[in-house]
Chains A and B, each alone.
Chain A
Amino acid sequence: MTQAQAEDTRVDWEAALVQRACTGDTRAFERLYREHAGRVYGLCLRMTRDAHLAEDCTQETFINAWRALPRFETRSSLSTWLHRIAVNVSLAKRRKASPVAPSPDDEEGTGGACGWTLETPVEVQEIEAAIGALPDGARDALILHALYGYSHVEAAQMLGVAEGTCKAQLHRARRLLRERLHVEVG
């Protein structure tokens, strides 16, 4: 089976599972959970920086998805839809956990699109720690754009900010990572 065929199968399989879950089939929904839980949890964990909060967010994401599943349009990507829910849930939980207004510094910079290549390879653990130490806004934009591959527009929509703000946050994230990792992030 070629990779393209495998992808087609996965999509067909997912559409069938969504269809079954919409009729109340929790087994089908569990299969969807198993397929997407890792990426959803990874997103929640990086956004909240708290394993317990990330677990709560992941559960909330899938429960909200279950409720809203009949409104999901199968033409769009289920993973993107789940990630949108996960971002909303994580932002809400984070605000509730520490209701601090974003600092004016969050609006700085006008950086545009950039690559995320490191001049010198760095250990995964070290990068994750550096990402975890970023301010919330910069970290959110970085996670969605550089790790999950969403465009500036998509990331901005998910985060509920202007596209320019998202680009500025990415610029800031790049600068802070460069300072913390002592390598060029180009």
Chain B
Amino acid sequence: MSGTGSADERRVGSLRELSPAVEPPRDLWPQIEARINAERRSAPAAQPRPARARPLPPRWLAAAAVVASVAVGVWIGRSLLPAARPGVQSPISAARATLAGAPTALDVAYVSDRRYQRDRAALMKSLQARLAALPQPARAKVMASLAAMQRAKQDLESALGKDPGNALLQELLVNTYQDEMRVLTDVQASDAGRGI
């Protein structure tokens, strides 16, 4: 066989000792990514993307911008500052606290922003009324989305507790907060029969 790796003079006593993994001789990702992007451009409907988002009213764009700016702030803070700063809860203890029902450091950073707190509270306040006004299929879809995001946040926080330095997990968590805000703003904007 050509290229199962360099000449390996290691001796093995069982076939199970052979490593199933063989590193490709070159990075195949750039070509994979190029093909994925090409397919996206030619047939966006076939891609694993969510439904196209409608343009948001300026007020909710502003709310989303606040979330984004807080997220960036949190992201920078968590990326650049060591976790063991005096007086700051470590990610592990924060995740443990989450599992016990208390807010994490990330939660605290979010809710400490008054504008975000106010806007999110307003959205949550009107959520039930907005949901009641939606057709049943749309209502079920929104509730399922919010529940999925809640589970995702819990899973990510739990995973971060075990792997606090994982930058991707941190980013995914921030993205999930933003996704939640996006859904809430979409629901808010669903009046006047525009639907979700």
A interface residue numbers (CB < 8 A to B): 1, 5-6, 8-9, 12-13, 15-17, 19-31, 33-34, 37-39, 41-43, 45-46, 49-51, 54-55, 58-59, 62-63, 66-67, 69-70, 115-118, 120-125, 127-129, 131-132, 142, 146-149, 185
Contacts and interface: CB of A to CB of B under 8 A. Distances in A.
B7 A125 contact: yes
Contact of B163 (A13, A15, A129, A132): A13
A26 B36 contact: yes
Which range holds the interface residue count of chain B? 35 or more
Interface of B: 1-5, 7-16, 18-26, 28-29, 31-33, 35-37, 39-40, 46-50, 152, 155-156, 158-159, 162-163, 166, 168-169, 172, 175, 179
A1 B92 CA distance: 12
Contacts of B158: 12
Contacts, number: 168
B8 A41 contact: no
Given A9-B162, A67-B48, A70-B48, A16 B152 contact: yes
15 contacts: A9-B163, A13-B169, A20-B172, A21-B48, A24-B47, A27-B168, A33-B29, A37-B24, A39-B21, A50-B2, A59-B35, A121-B13, A124-B10, A128-B8, A132-B1
